[in-house]
Structure 1
Amino acid sequence: MKPFFLKTNRNAKTVENLFVLSVFIFCFSCISGEENSPSGKVEANLRELSLDENRLSESNTRFATNLFQQLVSNGDSKNLFFSPYSIHQALAMAMNGNDGEVLEEFIQVLQMEGMSLEEANQAVKDLTSFLLEVDPKVQLSIANGIWYKEGYEVRIPFKDAAKHYFSAEIAPLDVYDPNSVDIINHWIEKQTDNLIKDMLDIIPEDAVMYLVNAIYFKGDWTYNFPKENTRKEKFTLGNGQEILVDMMNLGESAGFKAYGTSEYTYLEIPYSSEQYSMGILINESGNLSELYPHFTLENLTEWRSNPRDVNLILKMPKFKIDYRIDNLSNDLQAMGLVRPFSFHKDNFTQLFSNPTDDLKISRVIHQALIEVDEKGTEAAAATIVEVVETVSLPPDSTPTIFTLDRPFIFFIQEKHSGAILFMGKLENPLEDD
Structure 2
Amino acid sequence: MRRSIVPALTAFAILGACQQPAAAPEPEAPAAPDAGTTPVEEPSPMPVATPTLEATAPLSQGNNLFAWSLYETLESKPGNIFVSPASISEAFALLYPGAAGDTATQMAGVFGFDGVPADGFAVTQHTLNTAVTADTETTKLTVANAAWLREGSTFQAPYRDAVEGIMKAKVALVDFTQPAAAAKLINSWVEDHTNDKIHDLIPPGAIRPGLTELILTNAVWFKADWQSPFKAEATQDGTFFAPSGEITAKLMSQTLKKARYLSRDGYAALDLDYAGDDYALTVILPDAQDGLTDVAAAMTAESFTTLLTDMDSASERRVHVVLPKVRIEASYELNDPLIALGLGDAFTSAADFSGLIEGAGPGDLVISKVLQKTFLDIDEKGTEAAAATAIMMERTAIFIPDEEPVEFRADHPFLIALRHKPTGTVMFMGRVESPPPAED
Q: Which range, TM-score by smaller chain?
A: 0.7 to 0.9
Alignment length (residue pairs): 350
Name which one, 1 or 2, has greater alpha-carbon Rg. 2
- Counterpart mapping for 1:20-419 below 5 A: 45=22, 50-72=53-75, 75-133=76-134, 137-177=138-178, 178-202=180-204, 203-205=207-209, 206-239=211-244, 241-250=245-254, 252-286=255-289, 287-292=291-296, 293-294=298-299, 296-302=301-307, 303-325=310-332, 327-344=333-350, 347-355=352-360, 358-393=364-399
Q: Which amino acid aligns with 2:223?
A: K
Distance between the aligned counterparts of 2:312 and 2:300, measured in 1? 15
Contact 2:123 2:167 in 1 (8 A): no
Displacement of 1:108: 0.8
Alpha-carbon displacement from aligned partner over 1:143-198 (angstroms, at most 9, x marks no partner): 00110110111111111111133210000010011311111000000000100011
Displacement of 1:67: 1.2
Distance between the aligned counterparts of 2:371 and 2:294, measured in 1? 29
Displacement of 1:136: 6.6
Contact 2:66 2:301 in 1 (8 A): no
Q: Which amino acid aligns with 2:370?
A: V
Contact 1:238 1:285 in 2 (8 A): no
Q: Which amino acid aligns with 1:218?
A: K
Distance between the aligned counterparts of 1:112 and 1:222, measured in 2? 33
1:8 aligns with 2:3: yes
Percent identity between matched residues is 25
Contact 2:123 2:166 in 1 (8 A): yes
Contact 2:22 2:132 in 1 (8 A): no
Q: Which amino acid aligns with 1:71?
A: L
Cα gap change, 1:275 to 1:66, in 2 (>3 Å): same
Contact 2:327 2:377 in 1 (8 A): yes
Distance between the aligned counterparts of 1:298 and 1:284, measured in 2? 18
SS of residue in 2 equivalent to 1:273 = coil
Cα gap change, 1:305 to 1:378, in 2 (>3 Å): closer
Residue 12 of structure 1 is matched in structure 2 by none
Alpha-carbon displacement from aligned partner over 1:250-280 (angstroms, at most 9, x marks no partner): 2x44311011124100111110122200011
List alignment gaps of at least 5 residues for structure 2. Answer: 5-19, 25-50, 400-440
Residue 23 of structure 1 is matched in structure 2 by none
Cα gap change, 1:159 to 1:275, in 2 (>3 Å): same
Displacement of 1:79: 0.2
Residue 426 of structure 2 is matched in structure 1 by none
Displacement of 1:100: 2.0
SS of residue in 1 equivalent to 2:272 = strand
Distance between the aligned counterparts of 2:155 and 2:223, measured in 1? 35
Distance between the aligned counterparts of 1:49 and 1:347, measured in 2? 31
TM-score of the superposed pair, with normalisation by structure 2: 0.75
Alpha-carbon displacement from aligned partner over 1:196-230 (angstroms, at most 9, x marks no partner): 01111121111000000000000100011111111
Displacement of 1:69: 1.6
Contact 1:44 1:135 in 2 (8 A): no
Displacement of 1:329: 1.1
Runs of 4+ aligned residues of structure 1 deviating over 6 Å after TM superposition are none
SS of residue in 1 equivalent to 2:373 = strand
SS of residue in 2 equivalent to 1:162 = helix
Contact 1:44 1:136 in 2 (8 A): no
The alignment's C-alpha RMSD in Å is 2.3
SS of residue in 1 equivalent to 2:138 = coil
SS of residue in 2 equivalent to 1:275 = coil
SS of residue in 2 equivalent to 1:64 = helix
Cα gap change, 1:49 to 1:280, in 2 (>3 Å): farther
TM-score of the superposed pair, with normalisation by structure 1: 0.76
Distance between the aligned counterparts of 2:89 and 2:99, measured in 1? 16
Deviates more, 1:169-178 or 1:62-71: 62-71
Distance between the aligned counterparts of 1:60 and 1:161, measured in 2? 20
Choose between structure 1 and 2 for higher RCO, CA contacts under 8 A separated by at least 6 residues: 1
Q: Which amino acid aligns with 2:347?
A: F
Q: Which amino acid aligns with 2:192?
A: K
Contact 2:58 2:112 in 1 (8 A): no
Contact 1:224 1:374 in 2 (8 A): yes
Distance between the aligned counterparts of 2:154 and 2:202, measured in 1? 24
SS of residue in 1 equivalent to 2:215 = strand
Distance between the aligned counterparts of 2:172 and 2:21, measured in 1? 36
Displacement of 1:301: 2.3
Distance between the aligned counterparts of 1:321 and 1:233, measured in 2? 19
